[in-house]
Structure 1
């Protein structure tokens, strides 16, 4: 079971995204060289500028359209491993499901085909998937999900309903089919390298690439409504997510490259259920200058009861095999708000 040791050159797709940027940071700090893909040279340069002390260890490869069969041909030459984090996330999509599904699936298959043609002897391929590929949760379904589950129901529903399927369902189907594509390839082609899939829940943590709160994109944006007027007390304790700190996603991605026992496995990354109540409680304690939002309930027993009753994605296998401990939920929320606080205070003033 080969591993990609520090000093290796790792190709990171999706490096300009929220999780991708942290993955690049973690790899650089662990001693890897990184080749990032982006749609333009300007975006490659943007990634370089985020890590000025590591600029000499960052290469770039322009991949204008991951749907093109040869899109990754040049990018894979000379690399030792891959962390594939590029995939569309458009939860409000109302059109053809293929707008979401095809880039997700072909992004994987085209990258694998490029490796087969130009660099078949890499050491490891790590795919950043999602718990969206694990389960289609229903009120009468399981309360705890592990890596044995697959969200094939989302694929069935999207195929049955086409453009009328919700954006969320299309996203779930895209993650399910793209991860299936990886494991089908490993089983059918039996390449020299092995693979690992990382399946994060809602990724939170301090965003690094924004100028105003309106420009914050991705999952950190889901925190914002709970520190602004408009949410009811009932909404603070309903519709929970499962969550994980972006720094844990980055660390797990590095450990997936270096842990022999990770080969051929899926790893859910999920620290805890996450409620709006958690945001309101942390904000009140740590940031009294942010005002105007609905107060949360800080009672420990109440918060523990909410967590215990929520549907959970079991992320314990990742801790055990990859050898790390999840960042605590309140620390993740506090650090996220710390990054956003000046803008939030200004907005509330």
Structure 2
């Protein structure tokens, strides 16, 4: 499905929650949440084996929100990662909460979307997605993936062979992030979606496949056949391929490594009518064939697989189209902004 460019409307705009506040100070509030992760089993032995790598024992956990007097600054949400790697900096998950407010500055009770960022250290695209969603009335939470942002321990650089552990931690953090969001005030806990771009898109594909925790899933510039992508992809994929080769991962050894976090093994667990993919037809970082493989495994219809004539980087020109879909699917009809309604 090819969607036309509609630039004007966007670039001008820069478990279950059941517990009350546990403690409160002038600068922060702490809530108690509980993992709602369903049992990770599957009739497919291969899928069941893959899911074992993302399982943890559900438990209660604390969610801390740091407030700010500056309305332009997102709130900071923190909680413990379900996967303890022994690094106290990395193992505390940070999410930046871009609050949905009305024109008068009052906080709205609205659905939310958890945003998983790309591989760039500045998380530029992730920030843009989160900020824009909040301006259109959707609470947005930009999660800092392992070793990014507030979770980066500058004294330690993750070893290349840790790629599986890092990816697994990213996936379980995103899934627990859903339950952290659900306990927060002004969030419609029944409607929490997930969006990810590039690296975040792979994380979203995996996290969305664990169970039906997320109401809707939006996968941007990502795909399946992780091994094939590393072997054939260019630019970012080529850099990763070289780093892994330097660490001794080539051929069958590389295939066995990345197979542990292969989205195609569990993509059939995504709900087709609640999942959307956005793909660049000229993408050479995540080749079109890899995106098609994931869309096929997830059984997505043409309407749910949006293909634009762009590569991995020029796809930003279609940012308005992506935001349009997410906002329309997230908000009730009477809450969709007039700018989007008039552009229908």
TM range (shorter): 0.3 to 0.5
| TM-score normalised by structure 1 residue count | 0.32
Higher strand share: 2
Indicate the structure (1 or 2) with the bigger Cα radius of gyration: 1
| TM-score normalised by structure 2 residue count | 0.32
